[in-house]
Amino acid sequence: MAYKFRNRPVFQTSPLRTLTLTLMVLTLYFLCACSGNPSRIDSSVPNARTYQKITAEAAYRMMEKSGGFVLLDVRTNEEFLEKRIQGAILIPDYEIEKRIASELPDKNAVIFVYCRSGARSANASKAMVSKGYTQVYDIGGIIDWPYGTVSSLLTSDP
């Protein structure tokens, strides 16, 4: 079939050529679709480069069943002294990149990360996963932790 523009042929095609082009486009589409997206992370695969966001309740149950875990507080030193979960260690979120490898060298350790409300713990968890940590659990904020906390501040009665 000839297409004309101002009475001049611009493109010649035949049914066979159309079919061939269509099959080529469909083949490329299916090859791209089946190859997978390397930026997508499958959380069902062990050691996938991701962290899990879990509730305080789920974290508490996991902690009760396992004795081998790290509880990581990523808030500031002042916030940590004011109130923290018993047994937590402090590495502020802005120091994770520098300190995590030296202070937590076991990249396969179970690590529960928390902050005040959940934003800093998510960012710290992402940074840890990018460094190769494989069992990182973001438990959100201490404001959602109903199981008791401790304080290092001395308070006096008025």
Residues designated as active site: 115
Which uninterrupted H or E stretch holds 5? strand 2-5
Q: Rg for the chain (alpha carbons), in Å?
A: 27
Alpha helices in 5-150 (DSSP H): 15-35, 56-65, 77-82, 96-103, 119-130
Tokens at 86, concatenated: 């018993």
CA-closest candidate to residue 87, choices 28, 145, 9, 31 = 145
User: Would strands 8-12 and 2-5 be described as parallel, antiparallel, or unpaired?
Assistant: antiparallel
Burial of 8 (0-12, 13-18, 19+ CB in 10 A): exposed
Of 39, 60, 61, 59, nearest in space to 50 by CA: 39
